[in-house]
Amino acid sequence: MHAPTGDAPATLPPQQTGTAAQPAPEPAARARPGTTWWIWAMAAALFLGYSILSLSVHERLLSRSFDLGIFVQVVRSYAAWHLPVSEVKGPDFPVLGDHFSPVLALLAPLYWLWPSVKMLLVAQAALVAGSMVPLAFWARRALGAPAAAVVGICYGLSWGLASGVESDFHEWAFALPLLTLSLTALSAGRLRAAAAWALPLVLVKEDMGLTVAAIGVVIAWQGGRGNRRTGLLTAAAGVLAVALSLLVLSSFHPGGFEGYFGSHNPGSGAPAGPQDAAGGGLPALLERVTIGLVEPREKVTTLILIFAPTLFLALRSPLALVLVPSVLWRLASNYPPHWGTGYHYSLLVMPIVFVAFVDALHRRGTSGRSLYRYLAGCAGVTLLLLPHFPFWQLVKADTWRNHPRTAVAHQVMAEIPDDATVQASHYLVPHLADRTSVSLYGWGDSRPNPEWIMVDTEVAPQWRWPMSVVQESYALEDARAHGYRTVVERDGFVLLSRTAARTG
């Protein structure tokens, strides 16, 4: 059944009530047909804000080799008509042995038009902003125009999107519009459409098949006898996609099946922060999937923040079950950054909880003053959280200030010719990845003996990775002792070359 449009009376489909179709509560305020330009204007404003935030982070030399540098090299590979490789991961490392994300090939035509790392950041901004549109349209149909405006803005400014947009580029951006299209269709009772929008998620990343399976389970549960087959087939397709993805990944990984899982063990050295050892065997695993789901307390804080913008009402919708795969693997992980609110790990949960919020309000028949109280609470929580997450950077003076070292960094990088082999510091790699063959300085798997080395020796200790200040100093001296000459040394930036004569 299609969602009501215009001034037609809304109905709850049988699969949502367990009875014959019956009239749903009238929305508090029904928008007139055709008055939807403001939804697109909201999306355009969000797109502009996301783009500014991402590009400002990049221009201030705060984007990272893991992951932005890797993704630029992947898109460059697709744009050159060959399977994706990443020098950041290792010499000619096949990225399909790291993550199954063929959806990134869709960016190749855009890269032909704009061969820059900035294209990826702008594309991500468009995908994330665009995911608000189906959510707002469904909220408008189900609850009225005022609710659509509040829900759309609160979703667009939610802390999970803020952390994701600020944290480089990630393939999960492609999942957001697909998730909102699928879940809003599911909420509206269009179950086949929900399945159709969910299935392409398996091309975003290897673990997204579990989310597709969860959507299939909800379809089967909600759909009654007539749509149970659709749900079960969708769930089976999701599980099968996970299995096939793992086979593809292990076949491309240089170390095979064991190499793939070994390289994704957080104890093996990931760049985002400190790690715990993965040992301990079965007792440690049992602890992680029981008491470990809520310990340390950071995990509980994250769970609270996931549902707080919806006043925990999202938990009253069956759509909240779709959260289980995305939340469970994070809480069971032994990698501390998975537990918190930073990086991109909460991108996927935001569309699910906000569609579930609208679905719960619609099911309850919430209208009038009761609806406005819920909307005011959602807006209040969103505003309270806003200063604690990256969107707040847009109102800080430092975001808009010209940083002299940034200009120096770009001047020094301009000395490196296109297509050269380079090793560079963690935060310099993304600025070179769209025109050179760059790898990470100090990373054990980087291509040895590059033509150029560029290092930022004044990075704050807490931002250094993978070498400490002392290790970096010894490494530079060793490079000079083995034939590298200093081309530029200015404001903490050191540029070495194997062949160039010293010029400064």
Chain segment 475-488, per-residue pLDDT in tens: 999 999 999 999 99
* Helices 159-166 & 117-130 angle (0-180, nearest 10): 170
What is residue 357's three-state secondary structure? helix
Residue with tokens 């707040």: 392
| Cα gap 338→207, rounded to integer Å | 15
Which H or E run contains 217?
helix 208-252
d(CA 312, CA 304): 8
pLDDT 10s per residue in the chain (504 long)?
344 443 333 444 444 443 333 344 444 444 445 578 999 999 999 999 999 999 999 999 999 999 999 999 999 999 999 999 999 999 999 999 889 999 999 999 999 999 999 999 999 999 999 999 999 999 999 999 999 999 999 999 999 999 999 999 999 999 999 999 999 999 999 999 999 999 999 999 999 999 999 999 999 998 777 789 999 999 999 999 999 988 888 888 887 766 666 666 544 344 443 334 344 566 766 777 778 788 888 999 999 999 999 999 999 999 999 999 999 999 988 889 999 999 999 999 999 999 999 999 999 999 999 999 999 999 999 999 999 999 999 998 888 888 889 999 999 999 999 999 999 999 999 999 999 999 999 999 899 999 999 999 998 887 888 999 999 999 999 999 999 999 999 999 999 999 754 444
- Angle (nearest 5°) at CA 75 between 71 and 81: 150
Q: What is the mean pLDDT of the chain?
A: 87
Residue among 6, 71, 14 nearest 430 (CA): 71
Cβ atoms within 10 Å, residue 78: 19
Q: How far apart are CA 48 and CA 87, in angstroms?
A: 31
Cα torsion angle, 462, 467, 470, 475, sign? negative
- Cβ burial of 109 (10 Å; 0-12, 13-18, 19+) is exposed
The pTM score is 0.88
Q: Cα Rg for the chain, rounded, in angstroms?
A: 24
Q: Give the integer Cα–Cα distance in Å for 229 and 223.
A: 9
What would the DSSP string read from start to end of 74-138? HHHHHHTTS--EETTTSTTEEGGGT---GGGGGGHHHHHH--SHHHHHHHHHHHHHHTHHHHHHH
Q: How far apart are CA 315 and CA 328, in angstroms?
A: 15
Using one digit for the tens of pLDDT, what is the confidence trace for 367-393? 999 999 999 999 999 999 999 999 999
Show the tokens assigned to 449.
């003996």
- Give the H/E segment covering residue 400: helix 397-400
Pairing of strands 493-497, 452-456: antiparallel
Phi, psi of 15 (to 5 degrees): -65, -15
- By three-state DSSP, how is residue 384 classified? helix
Residue 294 CB coordination number (10 Å): 12
Q: What is the DSSP string of 249-282?
A: HHHHSTTHHHHHHHHT-GGGT-TTS------SHH
